[in-house]
Amino acid sequence: MIKPSVNKVVLAYSGGLDTSIIVPWLKENYGCEVVCFTANVGQVDELDGLEEKALASGASQFIIHDMREEFAEEYLFPVLRAGAKYERKYLLGTSTARPVIAKHQVEIAHEVGADAVAHGATGKGNDQVRFELTYTALDPRLKVIAPWREWDIRSREDAIDYANERNIRVTATTKSIYSRDRNLWHLSHEGGPLEDPWLEPNESMYLLSTSPESAPDKAEYVEITFESGTPVAVNGEKMSPAKLVECLNAIGGTYGIGRADMVEGRLVGMKSHGVYETPGGTILMAAHSELESLVRMLNQRSGAALDWAKVPQSS
């Protein structure tokens, strides 16, 4: 494979195993300057120490954008209003985040004068398509580098070895090797023991939700206010889109709401075993569905009343 000439690349950087080793790999294989871009879409403590880590791995610059409100208002809530679910279970947490990340990544490429963008999505998943379609739609002139489709690393164990050889600090280990993606909407778990769909996920894997057995015995009432199909308040308190989702995540997680364990089909034709935690999103989807039922009922009554009014009345 003939590599294109690249001067500067903007990498979608999470600080996880894959993107941590991509920084030195890009420098070694493309001889280019690497700018690390992190999108704050609600990863919480995963953002701690990222700048220091990115620069230590060889990046020339680290940029972070807080996109939580944009992500909730312009991406998550449209998904909610559409009632969108994948294969009747997955509430599209990772899927929805990728386009907004790629959008900002292209904008940064323009700002810093980069001629390429890169991502850490594997060559067997859906994220590569989400990133690259957005890049192409916004600026087809940018070169796209997808290391997982080029390098000789074939497993997360290989990636850990690569990181250790270059003294790059990573949190993944061969004992705790889940591939996770967290944002405001959800937390996903893949890989490791989940590669065997026969195995039940270990309770210690879950980070956002408690088990139903450990949930409080006393029920809690939650009132959600909608305006034109968009949630605006919880229990009478108005909140920004991101704060509202965070609030419902805390409530739902306490009661073990929002867990989905599924074997799903990928765009490339493979199957994948994933476990998702979406506490707030699950509450919102349920509430929005009930709202739709009420609106349909009212529309039916109004329609029946109009039809009755059109019937000639005998004296």
Give me the active site residues, please: 18, 98, 127, 179
Q: How far apart are CA 120 and CA 105, in angstroms?
A: 13
Distances in Å between the Cα of 79 and the Cα atoms of 33, 103, 163, 300 are 37, 18, 37, 25
Q: Is 29 left (phi over 0), alpha (psi -120 to 50) or beta?
A: alpha
- Measured CA to CA, the distance from residue 6 to residue 8 in angstroms comes to 6
Asked whether 273 and 194 are in contact (CB, 8 A), the reply is yes
Q: CA gyration radius for the chain?
A: 23
The sign of the torsion formed by the CA atoms of 202, 204, 208, 213 equals positive
Assigned token pair, 165: 């050889």
- SS (HEC) of 157-217: HHHHHHHHHCCCCCCCCCCCCCEEEECCCCEEEECHHHHCCCCCCCHHHCCCCCCHHHCCC
Q: Which of 288, 219, 224 lies closest to 254 in space, CA to CA?
A: 219
